[in-house]
């Protein structure tokens, strides 16, 4: 396929690496139409492939054309749908799921490293810059993400993956579940739009505190702080020079999201403090929709004293004892 597109050398074998929410293990099933489960499978080729064409724009076009041609027989065989997105080739699997294939060019040495580490599931991705349409202007030690109209742009999914996996390793798997709850609420509250997954991750991670055996109270502690965090502004967790994530969402949408999480806080507090398991389920249905199981029999009513007793002990500072004089 690459040869037909104008590539002169021996076509390299691409490497594929899963990224995004599937890699983070934060992917949820769709809550309502038109939402779809999104799987991202990055396709990587060595930089020598793209640099052998006359211009960057030619290389990106060849890359997209070759990938679409290679996927078409499989798409037709299964009755899937293939569509063109600005930064990827999208394969629609069903009304509720699709696979996005973003296309990367990486330095040859790093490409060889990717091949060598495949069995260890190493995930190397993209650090790229938008430049003028000539190869001399492109960084030779970077990774480039193909774009249909801008040729090559900056993108680094590896950095986000490393950041989040490190956070989970340090704070525990409960953090991953809290992110999934936040995304579940987002998907129930907004059929389309709402705060992005990376925005929710970046806003929640700094204020998350592990609460062993109590996902409900751990979630409440995060949700209670989200409105103020969103209104203050949230930056990318891996590149402080990027446009803030909340700026991308827009001021009106940020305020809408802040108010939505204020409503979630009220529902969570009510459910946690409820004396009726049926009422607790009702409030959780309001927050998370029909996906929350209507099983009052599984809800445990816990007293305030029991909740306090279950909290882990925290060492306090020693009280300063004043000097005394015997009389």
| Nearest partner of 145 among 241, 39, 240, 60, judged by Cα | 60
40: tokens are 């991202």
pLDDT tier at 133, thresholds 50, 70, 90 = very low
Percent of the chain at pLDDT exceeding 90: 54
Distance from the Cα of residue 85 to its chain's centroid: 19
Q: Does residue 224 fall inside a structural domain?
A: yes
Same structural domain for residues 176 and 297? yes
More confident residue, 154 or 19: 19
Same structural domain for residues 114 and 31? yes
Q: How many domains does the chain have?
A: 2
Same structural domain for residues 140 and 170? no
Instruction: State mean pLDDT over 117-122.
Output: 52
pLDDT tier at 81, thresholds 50, 70, 90 = very high
Same structural domain for residues 135 and 180? no
More confident residue, 145 or 48: 145
Predicted pLDDT of residue 52: 65
Predicted pLDDT of residue 201: 98
Same structural domain for residues 59 and 142? yes
| Nearest partner of 149 among 125, 133, 163, 137, judged by Cα | 133
Q: Is the pLDDT of residue 326 over 70?
A: no
Q: Does residue 7 fall inside a structural domain?
A: no
Instruction: State mean pLDDT over 265-284.
Output: 94
Predicted pLDDT of residue 105: 83
Domain extent, residue 242, equals 164-310
Q: Does residue 303 fall inside a structural domain?
A: yes
Predicted pLDDT of residue 315: 52
Q: Does residue 10 fall inside a structural domain?
A: no
More confident residue, 158 or 239: 239
| Model pTM score | 0.80
Q: DSSP letter for 164, please.
A: H
Instruction: State mean pLDDT over 319-325.
Output: 53
């Amino acid at each position: 396929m690459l040869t037909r597109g104008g590539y002169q050398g021996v076509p390299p074998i691409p490497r594929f690496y899963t990224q995004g929410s599937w890699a983070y293990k934060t992917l949820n099933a769709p809550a309502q139409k038109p939402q779809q489960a999104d799987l991202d499978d990055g396709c990587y080729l060595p930089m020598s492939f793209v640099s052998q064409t006359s211009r960057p724009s030619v290389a990106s076009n060849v890359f997209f054309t070759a990938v679409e041609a290679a996927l078409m027989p499989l798409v037709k065989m299964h009755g899937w749908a293939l569509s063109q997105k600005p930064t990827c080739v999208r394969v629609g699997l069903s009304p509720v799921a699709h696979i996005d294939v973003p296309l990367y060019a990486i330095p040859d040495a790093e490409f060889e490293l990717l091949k060598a580490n495949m069995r260890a599931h190493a995930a190397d991705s993209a650090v790229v810059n938008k430049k003028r349409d000539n190869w001399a202007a492109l960084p030779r030690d970077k990774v480039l993400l193909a774009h249909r109209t801008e040729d090559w742009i900056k993108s680094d999914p590896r950095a986000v993956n490393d950041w989040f996996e490190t956070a989970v390793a340090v704070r525990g798997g409960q953090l991953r579940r809290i992110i999934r709850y936040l995304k579940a609420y987002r998907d129930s509250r907004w059929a389309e739009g709402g705060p992005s997954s990376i925005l929710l991750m970046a806003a929640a991670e700094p204020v998350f505190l592990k609460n062993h055996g109590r996902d409900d109270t751990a979630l409440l502690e995060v949700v209670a702080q989200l409105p103020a965090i969103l209104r203050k502004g949230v930056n990318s967790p891996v590149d402080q020079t990027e446009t803030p994530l909340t700026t991308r969402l827009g001021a009106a949408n940020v305020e809408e999201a802040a108010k939505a999480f204020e409503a979630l806080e009220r529902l969570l507090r009510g459910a946690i403090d409820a004396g009726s398991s049926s009422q607790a389920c009702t409030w959780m249905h309001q927050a998370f929709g029909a996906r929350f199981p209507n099983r009052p029999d599984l809800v445990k009513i816990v007293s305030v004293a029991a909740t306090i007793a279950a909290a882990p002990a925290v060492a306090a500072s020693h009280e300063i004892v004043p000097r005394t004089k015997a009389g």
